[in-house]
Chain A
Amino acid sequence: MPGLSAITAANGWFITAAGLIIVFTGLAVLAAFIACLDTLLSLWDRWTAWLERATGREVSASRPAPSAQESPAPVQPASSAQKVVLGGETLEVYQYFQWLTRREGEVFSLSRLLEQAEKRGIPRPHFHLDELLLLGLIEELPGEDCGFYRWTPGANVQPEEEPSRRTEPL
């Protein structure tokens, strides 16, 4: 029974319509969710910051480190600190780099760090590494250890507040 009647007999029209609707709905809902995700995360950050303030605790970074279990790595909290404000992608990459170097100890190799960063798909690792070097957050070791690097002790990294957040009440 070939032809259009075969399609009708097998509920082909219904299956096709339902299938297309489900596929479109699934991906459209997912796309809508992704489109809102950034906003939802900003709201979440504001809420947690507000909660911390309300409970009297110090406000931590507006964006958490890649893993909640991680402790901030080799950078020592400084007293006489050189204050560096980082925002957006740079702050995020700074946190990844810290996480990556934590495995190697206090002293690390830049080439290995770049290799690890590229393997994990961290965006523009060369650019960001250069940026961190220029900001003085990473320093080369002197003397015999020349060629190896460490996080500058005493560097005080502060997350940049987004303009939209500054204007809105918490």
Chain B
Amino acid sequence: MDMVVEFLKNTGFGLADYRHFIMIAVGIGFISLGIAKHYEPLLLVPIGFGILMGNVPIFKGFGLGIYEPGSVLNYLYFGVRQGIYPPLIFLGIGAMTDFSTMLGRPKLMLLGAAAQLGIFVTFLAALALGFPANEAASIGIIGGADGPTAIFLSSKLAPELVGPIAIAAYSYMALVPVIQPPIMFLLTTKKERLIRMSDPRPVSKREKIIFPIAGFLMCCFLAPAALPLLGMLFFGNLLKECLVADRLAQTARTALIDIVTIILGITVGASTQADVFLTAKSVGIFFLGAASFMAATAGGILFAKLMNVFSRDKINPLIGAAGVSAVPDSARVAQMIGNREDPSNYLLMHAMGPNIAGVIGSAVAAGVLWSFFM
């Protein structure tokens, strides 16, 4: 009988406390959002299942948990800790991204820069709330709305916060269609939302080939710490555009990015073990993350309005909201809101410019922050 009791004590039911159940509920919530609502399913489903894996109560010391050296999950988590997976994801993103809308109207890149305001505002807010500077920088990067960049920077500056920061970043990225519209309505007038933009100029293949090389050199000379992310992003894009390395581009944008996304999602999810995740700090991170997204959205919209003051070729300020990277969801939101005001106004193509510039901008911002705290 004692053996049976002992066995039952050692099962998950015996070892669990309320925190495990909270996290399991969060994991199921993520999976539900991905499957039922189609919010970033490629990320939320693996992360959600990873949360379930990380929150099954287990014996410490058996080499099962993600934080136990020698465990399978711990080996896979190595890529997160060392910032290996995010650049590989950027390689795939580069190989699947068409930069032509951004190249056709380069001034829209400034909207991608303006939206990075969210990162720095949140950095200041986190400092003011008492977070150490390295943690504040990691929290601020949530405003870049770019999961791999957030994981990369936090793995370098505050490895113990990778879980909460990644979960916050991906949660808010999934919730872009909920977070952004109220801010867009609040900061724009109906007249501004009705602005129709002229078509961008056509972009030649040569420009598309030159851009990743020139863009990489310019950005990385300015912010060398962004090299792992931007190097892979631009390299992936060069593979796509040069046409002579199609097999490599095909692998980068399909098999490679899928494999890395699966491993990254599972390990980041599993890193949210209840005892390390459910802390007051995590609550603070979620609060600041939401503020960061809002500030980033507002930064992009307000800068678009500012550009309209000086420019004859008017910009619909809604596309400023797409400056937070969250590709392509934030561009879709700009299209959706613009389309609601005028069903024949198509903003998606225009919004993709700042959207992609936002990816570059957030990687540069991550590089800058990392270089300050190296």
Q: Which residues of chain A have a CB within 8 Å of any CB of chain B?
A: 1-4, 6-7, 10-13, 15-16, 18-20, 22-35, 37-38, 41, 63-64, 66-67, 69, 88-89, 92, 96, 99, 120-121, 123
Contact = CB atoms under 8 A, between A and B. Distances in A.
Contacts of A92: 204-205
Contacts of A27: 109-110, 112-113, 357, 360-361, 364
Contact of B364 (A7, A23, A63): A23
Given A12-B127, A12-B133, A63-B206, A30 B215 contact: yes
Interface of B: 98, 100, 102-103, 106-107, 109-110, 112-114, 116-117, 119-121, 123-124, 127-130, 132-133, 136-137, 201-202, 204-207, 210-211, 214-215, 218-219, 222-223, 240, 242-244, 246, 357, 360-361, 364-365, 368-369, 372
Contacts of B215: 30
Given A19-B119, A19-B368, A34-B103, 12 more contacts: A2-B130, A6-B130, A15-B137, A16-B121, A16-B123, A19-B365, A20-B120, A31-B107, A34-B102, A37-B103, A67-B242, A121-B240
Contacts of B214: 30, 33, 37
A159 to B, nearest CB: 13
15 contacts: A3-B128, A7-B127, A7-B128, A11-B372, A12-B133, A18-B372, A26-B218, A26-B360, A26-B364, A31-B106, A31-B110, A34-B109, A37-B103, A37-B210, A64-B206
Contacts of A99: 243
A29 B222 CA distance: 10
Q: Which of A1, A38, A88: most chain B CB closer than 10 A?
A: A38
Contacts of A20: 116-117, 120
Contacts of A41: 204, 206-207, 210
Q: Which of A15, A67, A99: most chain B CB closer than 10 A?
A: A15
A3 B103 CA distance: 42
A89 B222 CA distance: 34
B120 A19 contact: yes
A40 to B, nearest CB: 9
A37 B202 contact: no
A117 B52 CA distance: 43
B369 A19 contact: yes
Nearest to A25: B222
Nearest to A93: B205
B241 to A, nearest CB: 8
A66 B19 CA distance: 58
Nearest to A17: B120
A1 B211 CA distance: 46
B98 A121 contact: yes
Contacts of A13: 124
A131 to B, nearest CB: 15
A37 B211 CA distance: 9
A121 B202 CA distance: 13
List the 8 closest A-B pairs by CB distance, nearest first.
A31-B106, A2-B130, A34-B106, A10-B133, A27-B113, A31-B109, A16-B120, A19-B368
A52 B136 CA distance: 59
Contacts of B211: 34, 37
B113 A16 contact: no
B128 A24 contact: no
Contacts of B369: 15, 19
B326 to A, nearest CB: 17
A16 B109 CA distance: 20
A23 B361 contact: yes
Contacts of B357: 27
Q: Which of A2, A10, A63, A88: most chain B CB closer than 10 A?
A: A10
Contact of B130 (A1, A64, A121): A1
A91 to B, nearest CB: 10
B218 A29 contact: yes
B112 to A, nearest CB: 6
Contact of B244 (A1, A26, A29, A69): A69
B223 A34 contact: no
Contact of B124 (A12, A67, A89): A12
A154 B113 CA distance: 52
A99 B244 CA distance: 10
Contact of B202 (A1, A3, A123): A123
A22 B205 contact: no
Given A15-B123, A24-B113, A4 B128 contact: yes
Contacts of A120: 243, 246
Q: Which of A4, A20, A25, A66: most chain B CB closer than 10 A?
A: A20
Given A26-B223, A26-B364, A31-B110, A6 B206 contact: no
Contact of B243 (A2, A18, A34, A66): A66
B205 A6 contact: no
